[in-house]
Structure 1
């Protein structure tokens, strides 16, 4: 567990990964770091609107959230309402493309990659874990 906690602090390693440990081990490691964890259940997602809504609820977006890709990108690069030394999104119960078509899936993955790079430029770790295999963009 200590190794996972230490690894989570390395900004240069932060990125998108398939979860390869037990979820409870990830929770314990995150607790040691003091990071904010957002568990996002994708089981009922059936398209872009559902996906954005589920993510927005999980990260407790502010009232100004616009319910579109730009708003999602903006909020993932803000988190002023949730100050933390680092952030972790854990996507659970999703299929290979989160219940979206390939175009929307690709946009979501690009937003995630841009978000990780933004937080890296701020010297803050931003991790995304998937509890299933993902396809390459």
Structure 2
């Protein structure tokens, strides 16, 4: 199943990674993830003002069995996901621009951890896509679904 957003094959772990998309793209991504049989996890980063808020939002979205209080613990949990088995995962992070504006160091740490987790899933051949919504003028590489 090729997503109409960025023309990515959601079955193929070769294309996984962390991508910017425009606010209009999530509806298409949601449909594409469902058609591909991938588990969609959606998080609104607009209410995350700091490190603990962000970890809490992600812990809740991933239904983590153990609370996490640092990036390494979050990354370790995201490398497993045995409690929500799926052939692959799509993480949709709404309002990423808000988190970046409110807490740039938290945004950067989150992005780095997600990139690391994505590479780990990639090495196992399991699709793990992360899509962060940004305003149109900040999304240079997103294909807008016409």
Fold in common (TM above 0.5)? yes
Determine the structure 2 residue equivalent to 1:123.
Answer: 125
Determine the structure 1 residue equivalent to 2:93.
Answer: 91
Determine the structure 2 residue equivalent to 1:47.
Answer: 50
**What is the CA-CA distance between 1:131 and the residue it aligns to?**
1.1
Does the 8 Å CA contact 2:49/2:99 hold for their aligned counterparts? no
Does the 8 Å CA contact 1:41/1:92 hold for their aligned counterparts? yes
| CA 115–98 in structure 1, closer or farther in 2 if over 3 Å, else same | farther
* Structure 1, unpaired ranges of 5+: none
Give SS of 2:9's match: helix
Does the 8 Å CA contact 2:55/2:68 hold for their aligned counterparts? no
Runs of 4+ in 1 over 4 A off after TM superposition: none
Give SS of 2:85's match: coil
| CA 75–12 in structure 1, closer or farther in 2 if over 3 Å, else same | same
Structural RMSD (CA)? 2.0
**What is the CA-CA distance between 1:116 and the residue it aligns to?**
0.7
Does the 8 Å CA contact 1:119/1:125 hold for their aligned counterparts? yes
Task: Give me the whole-angstrom Cα distance separating, in 2, the residues matched to 1:71 and 1:7.
Answer: 30
Alignment pair present for 1:37 and 2:40: yes
TM-score by length of 1: 0.85
Task: Give me the whole-angstrom Cα distance separating, in 2, the residues matched to 1:127 and 1:39.
Answer: 12
Task: Give me the whole-angstrom Cα distance separating, in 2, the residues matched to 1:60 and 1:98.
Answer: 26
TM-score by length of 2: 0.80
Q: Which sits farther off after the overlay, 49-58 or 15-24? A: 15-24
